[in-house]
Amino acid sequence: MPADYHIHTEASLDAKGSMEEYIRKAKQKKLGEIGFSEHIILHNIEGHPYTPYTPIKSSYLQNFLNLKANAELFVKLGAEVDFIPKVTEKIGIFLREFPFDYVIGAVHFIDNWSVDSPSQMHEYSKRNVLKVYEEYFSLVKRLCRSRLFDILAHPDLIKIFGFKPKTDFSHILGEAAETMAKYNVCAEINTSGLRRPCQEIYPSEQFLKILHSHNVAVVFGSDAHEPNDVGRNFTQAVKLAKKVGYTKTCVFNQRRRDFVKI
Ligand SMILES: [Zn+2]
Ligand SMILES: [Zn+2]
């Protein structure tokens, strides 16, 4: 099984389980490598349940380092950082403070709209869905151009509630893939979409094919919010990756990537 690089512990507020519990579960599931990627939001967004700033405290880091030294699998330090254009500089300063192995960038917000919150799903019916996709992927491209991130989280999160443009939007996906390739940003094959109304891995097979044709590298993530989620549906994710032609995945150490076979 490939590494699971998208794991939230109780430090993420919306998740359950300690790092120890995740490591235990990962070993049971025979994963060779995992990475913790807590939510980091460096901007106060009105009405959003997360705290504006989730610092990774020194106790967290110390605990991580102790566990890493003693775990019988590779354990990496990552983060899932919200890309919010106006705080780009702040993100850069924050990332330099911690010894991350990799940094995942995510677009969860279009302005103040939290696009993956069930309580704000009604926005999709009010807006032009093609325009929404354009806005979402324009933020994805800005995320890449910021050069702050190694990995793009759940690349087509915007499909979460099953809203898709009625007309062909492959050009939007193509441009996003081109930008990811240009700035060396990996795509995350994230299985949490299977647990959402869209009932589909992020990215879709169509998008993953496009990413592969642009030589965009991939990593895998369960987006675990509790220990049982670790490595969830990875067999299906690997199958999808292989189906579109991937034979390798990335592993990260101190923000340098290597390729390993899948
Ligand atoms: Zn996310
Ligand atoms: Zn996440």
CATH number, domain of 101, equals 3.20.20.140
The pLDDT assigned to 12 comes to: 87
Q: What pTM does this model have?
A: 0.96
Q: Residues within 5 Å of ion ligand 2 by Cβ?
A: 80, 223
The partner residues of 186 in beta bridges, in order of sequence, read: 151
Whether the pLDDT of residue 54 is over 80: the answer is no
C-alpha distances in Å from residue 212, one per residue of 73, 149, 153, 184, 207: 29, 19, 16, 13, 9
CA–centroid distance, 80 to ligand 2, in Å, is 6
pLDDT for the residue 181: 98
Average pLDDT of the residues in 159-175: 97
Report how far ligand 1's centroid is from the alpha carbon of 242 (Å).
24
Predicted local confidence at residue 58, as pLDDT:
79
Number of domains in the chain: 1
Using the mean position of ligand 1's atoms as its centre, give its distance from the Cα of residue 58 in Å: 23
Q: Is the pLDDT of residue 215 over 60?
A: yes
- In whole angstroms, what is the distance from residue 111 CA to residue 109 CA? 6
Residues with Cβ within 8 Å of residue 77, at least 6 apart in sequence:
35, 36, 61, 64, 68, 98, 99, 100, 101
Question: What is the C-alpha to C-alpha distance for residues 182 and 214, in angstroms, rounded to an integer?
Answer: 9
Average pLDDT of the chain, as a whole number: 94
More confident residue, 44 or 142: 142
Element (H, E) at 109: strand 109-110
Q: Residue 233 is part of which domain span?
A: 4-261
Burial class (CB in 10 A: 0-12, 13-18, 19+), 8: buried
Q: Which ligand is nearest to the CA of 223?
A: 2
Q: Ligand 2 centroid to 223 CA: how many Å?
A: 5
